[in-house]
């Protein structure tokens, strides 16, 4: 959970607004062109270009200028002091792209969505959309070459089929394993399970702009009416921990001293009575139709809230429709999650709770609190880490008390993995690192 140099050998903050990056000089893109300051400038300008319409634009919109000092030195000047810039650049939204490839895209000669050009240890060999992606070793990679000649990612929707492929040796790694099926994989002779604590937070968002969820007392009542331990133990079976607030404990800025809204059905009913909903109310809950864990969570919440005459109807939608509807505020409640992949509280809080971020960029509860806005603004400007932690702690407690969401669980990432696989790494941001992976067969290794 510490930022490490990779394409940048070193970096430093020269003043409040200026960061300087010293780049590696031995890197080429998979199209054969050199990685240099020009490519950094071209990549970031592309992300910032409104015509590109990058969904990651919000992570870099504070960048005012990208200045080339020399071929391998670049300065990034921000519009305002922005402490987590390096963390945001480590996100894949800031992944470097060949300047030549960007120009080819602009000229209509390349589609970067389908023909990516990067600097990584693998390169794209073939993409059969909806079926598989085949990667091959990048022989010109600047670091140590991979053991694997190729790596194939296959799309297999049925979990039982994936487990069967692991058992027969057709697949070496299978992902997205439900907790209920973990024991089945543990009992395989040729495979086992691998888990890692994640940076994820799952939650049930309440639209703060629609009745009755525009009343914070109603939101608090709903939050206290849900016994989250039932969700964590019943669905996740120990592969996860109960969430109490807006940040995952692994994220910089998380505070240990928060006071959660604990399960308290008596106080929940008192709040509902005082708010004028002693007879309950009706609401709908959007849930991803392809995610069994989300559906199970929604069903538990539906059952528990029925004890308060809160009648929740489940609206199972296709994922892209759910995202569109929740971004446009066309929902009462929604089951969603957020992985703070940068490891910094700014990414986990600004996008989800700042008034300026209502909608698709993250704040799908349409939560607004001017005090929280000020705290989040100050925290991203502040250079002192200790002060940033204090600011985020204060913001977290206000958000918990305002209850824009039911914070449910910090899920673990779970995979089934063949006993032949060595060197496979799961990162807490959900990325699989196979750059050092290889296959063994007894005492022999195959690459």
Q: Which residue has the higher pLDDT, 45 or 53?
A: 45
Instruction: Kindly report the three-state secondary structure assignment for every residue of the chain.
Output: CCCCCCCEEEEEECCCCEEEEEECCCCECCCCCECCHHHHHHHHHHHHCCCCCCCCHHHCCCEEEEEEEECCEEEEEECCCCCCHHHHHCCHHHCCCCHHHHHHHHCCCCCCCCCCCCCCCEEEEEEECCCEEEEEECCCCCCCCCCCCEEEEECCCCHHHHHHHHHHCCCCEEECCCHHHHHHHHCCCCEEEEEEECCEEEEEEECCCCCCCCCHHHHHHHHHHCCHHHHHHHCCCCCEEECCCCCCCCCECCCCCCCCCCCCHHHHHHHHHHCCCCCCEEEEEEEECCCHHHHHHHHHHHHHHHCCCEEEEEEEECHHHHHHHHHCCCCCEEEEEEECCCCEHHHHHHHHHCHHHECCCCECCCCCCHHHHHHHHHHHHCCCHHHHHHHHHHHHHHHHHHCCEEEEEEEEEEEEEECCEECCEECCCCCEECCCCEEEECCEEEC
- pLDDT at residue 442 in the model: 45
**pTM, 2 dp:** 0.89
- Looking at the predicted structure, is the pLDDT value of residue 210 above 90? yes
Q: Which residues contact 4 (CB under 8 A, 6 or more apart)?
A: none
Q: How confident is the model at residue 45 (pLDDT cuts 50, 70, 90)?
A: very high
- pLDDT at residue 434 in the model: 96
The string of pLDDT tens digits covering residues 261-283 is 999 999 999 999 999 999 999 99
In angstroms, the CA 289 to CA 319 distance is 7
The pLDDT of 387-408, averaged and rounded, is 98
The string of pLDDT tens digits covering residues 378-397 is 999 998 999 999 999 999 99
- pLDDT at residue 447 in the model: 40
The string of pLDDT tens digits covering residues 128-181 is 999 999 999 999 999 999 999 999 999 999 999 999 999 999 999 999 899 999
Cis peptide before 162 (omega within 30 of 0): no
- pLDDT at residue 446 in the model: 44
Q: How confident is the model at residue 445 (pLDDT cuts 50, 70, 90)?
A: very low
- Looking at the predicted structure, is the pLDDT value of residue 2 above 80? yes
Q: Which residue has the higher pLDDT, 441 or 290?
A: 290
- pLDDT at residue 55 in the model: 82
- Looking at the predicted structure, is the pLDDT value of residue 444 above 50? no
Q: What value does the mean pLDDT of the chain take? A: 94
In angstroms, the CA 414 to CA 183 distance is 12
Residue 280's CB is within 10 A of a number of other CB atoms, namely 16
- pLDDT at residue 443 in the model: 43
C-alpha dihedral, 95 to 98 to 102 to 108, nearest 10°: -120
- pLDDT at residue 354 in the model: 97
Q: How confident is the model at residue 13 (pLDDT cuts 50, 70, 90)?
A: very high
The pLDDT of 335-355, averaged and rounded, is 95
């Amino acid at each position: 959970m510490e930022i490490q140099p990779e394409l940048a050998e070193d970096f430093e903050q020269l003043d409040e607004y200026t960061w300087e990056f010293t780049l590696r000089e031995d890197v080429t893109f998979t199209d054969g062109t050199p990685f240099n300051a020009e490519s950094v400038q071209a990549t970031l300008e592309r992300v910032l270009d409104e015509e590109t319409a990058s969904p990651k634009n919000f992570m870099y919109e504070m960048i005012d200028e990208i200045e080339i000092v020399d071929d391998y030195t670049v300065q990034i000047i921000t519009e305002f002091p922005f402490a987590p810039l390096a963390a945001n650049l480590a996100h894949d939204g800031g992944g470097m792209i060949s300047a030549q490839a960007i120009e080819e895209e602009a000229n209509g000669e390349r589609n970067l969505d389908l023909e990516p050009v990067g600097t990584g240890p693998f390169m794209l060999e073939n993409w059969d959309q909806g079926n598989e992606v085949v990667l091959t070793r990048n022989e010109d990679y600047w670091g140590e070459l991979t053991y694997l000649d190729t790596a194939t990612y296959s799309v297999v929707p049925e979990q039982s089929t994936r487990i069967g492929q692991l058992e027969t040796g057709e697949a070496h790694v299978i992902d997205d394993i439900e907790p209920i099926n973990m024991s089945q994989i543990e009992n395989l002779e040729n495979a086992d399970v691998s888990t890692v604590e994640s940076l994820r937070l799952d939650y049930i968002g309440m639209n703060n702009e629609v009745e009755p969820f525009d009343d914070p007392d109603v939101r608090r009542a709903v939050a206290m009416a849900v016994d989250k331990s039932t969700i964590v133990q019943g669905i996740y079976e120990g592969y996860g921990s109960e969430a109490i607030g807006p940040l995952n404990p692994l994220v910089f800025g998380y505070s240990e001293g928060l006071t959660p809204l604990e399960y308290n059905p008596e106080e929940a009913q008192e709040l509902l009575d005082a708010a004028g909903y002693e007879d309950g109310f009706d609401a709908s809950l959007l849930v991803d139709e392809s995610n069994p864990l989300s559906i199970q969570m929604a069903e538990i919440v539906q059952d528990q809230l029925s004890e308060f005459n809160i009648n929740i109807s489940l609206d199972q939608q296709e994922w892209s429709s759910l995202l569109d509807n929740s971004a446009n505020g066309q929902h009462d409640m929604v089951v969603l999650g957020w992985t703070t992949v940068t490891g910094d509280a700014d990414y986990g809080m600004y996008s989800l709770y700042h008034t300026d971020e209502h909608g698709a960029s993250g704040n799908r509860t349409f939560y607004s609190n001017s005090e929280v806005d000020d705290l989040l603004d100050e925290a991203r400007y502040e250079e002192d880490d200790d002060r940033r932690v204090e600011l985020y702690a204060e913001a977290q407690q206000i958000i918990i008390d305002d209850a824009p969401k039911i914070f449910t669980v910090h899920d673990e990432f779970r995979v089934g993995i063949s006993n032949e696989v060595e060197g496979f790494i799961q990162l807490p941001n959900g990325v699989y690192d196979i750059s050092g992976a290889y296959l063994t067969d007894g005492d022999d290794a195959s690459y």
